[in-house]
């Protein structure tokens, strides 16, 4: 099952240029099975439509992208988001208490929004690292892949899409069928996944040297 685990729609992420419906249409067109909508600091879509749902044959898991003092973290399973900016450790501890999962987003992107080397002290609280982000330079993705493997953290691929053309350029292949948020959280915790890249009309497991081309 192939899921793009990080994208934004324009109802609750003001920097996105695509609607939820357009994201779903793009996902279906390229053969994705699902998407994760991770709007910035917002549970709005979760309140509107639930934690997970299926639309036009595409599974939608609703999480959020939260900017901490150390960088961005994708969170899933939180009914209520923090009302103020926190340190990463504080947010990760909340996610653990709520039995959710937390994924470090684009850790080495050069915009001061990645956790970077903070992963070295936070790895025990993280559930994975976004190692292949479609809106991040290849060398930064390779740094992310290196630190994830160093600390035995799961590796995710995602488009981090704000436009339809980026949907699914990277994604994550899950070994088991996922029907809802509960299944998604379970699969993340069990590390039953690997990153994939869109190649032509299909998805392929990533050869890290290909990402440099």
φ and ψ of 187, to 5 deg: -65, -40
pLDDT digit string, tens, across residues 101-143: 999 999 999 888 999 999 999 999 999 999 999 999 999 999 9
Q: What is the pTM of this model?
A: 0.95
Give the helix/strand (H/E) hosting 22.
helix 20-30
In 3D space, the residue among 213, 125, 135, 204 whose CA is nearest the CA of residue 172 turns out to be 204
Strand intervals (E) in 41-187: 52-55, 58-67, 72-76, 101-104, 128-133, 155-158, 170-174
For the chain, first and last CA: distance in Å? 26
Q: Which domains does the chain have, with CATH numbers?
A: 2-212 (3.20.20.140)
Residues 6+ apart with CB under 8 A from 101: 75, 76, 77, 95, 127, 128, 185, 188, 189
- What is the rounded CA–CA span in Å between residue 30 and residue 27? 6
pLDDT digit string, tens, across residues 172-200: 999 999 999 999 999 999 998 999 999 98
Residue range 29-41: mean pLDDT, rounded: 98
Residue with tokens 């600390």: 151
Residues 6+ apart with CB under 8 A from 124: none
User: What is the 8-class DSSP label of residue 107?
Assistant: T
């Amino acid at each position: 099952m192939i899921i793009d685990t990080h994208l934004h729609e324009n109802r609750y992420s003001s920097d996105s240029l695509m609607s939820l419906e357009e994201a779903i249409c793009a996902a279906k067109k390229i053969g994705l099975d699902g998407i994760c909508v991770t709007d910035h600091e917002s549970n709005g879509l979760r309140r509107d439509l639930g934690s997970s749902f299926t639309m036009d044959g595409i599974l939608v898991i609703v999480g959020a992208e939260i900017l901490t003092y150390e960088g961005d973290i994708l969170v899933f399973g939180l009914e209520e988001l923090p009302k103020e900016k926190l340190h990463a450790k504080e947010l990760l501890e909340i996610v653990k208490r709520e039995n959710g999962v937390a994924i470090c987003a684009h850790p080495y992107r050069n915009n001061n929004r990645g956790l970077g080397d903070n992963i070295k002290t936070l790895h025990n609280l993280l559930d994975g690292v976004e190692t292949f982000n479609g809106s991040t330079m290849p060398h930064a993705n390779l740094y992310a892949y290196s630190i994830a493997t160093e600390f035995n953290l799961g590796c995710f691929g995602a488009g981090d899409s704000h436009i339809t053309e980026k949907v699914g350029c990277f994604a994550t292949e899950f070994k088991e069928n996922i029907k809802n948020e509960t299944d998604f959280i379970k699969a993340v915790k069990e590390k039953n996944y690997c990153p994939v890249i869109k190649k032509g009309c299909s998805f392929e497991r990533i050869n890290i040297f290909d990402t440099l081309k």
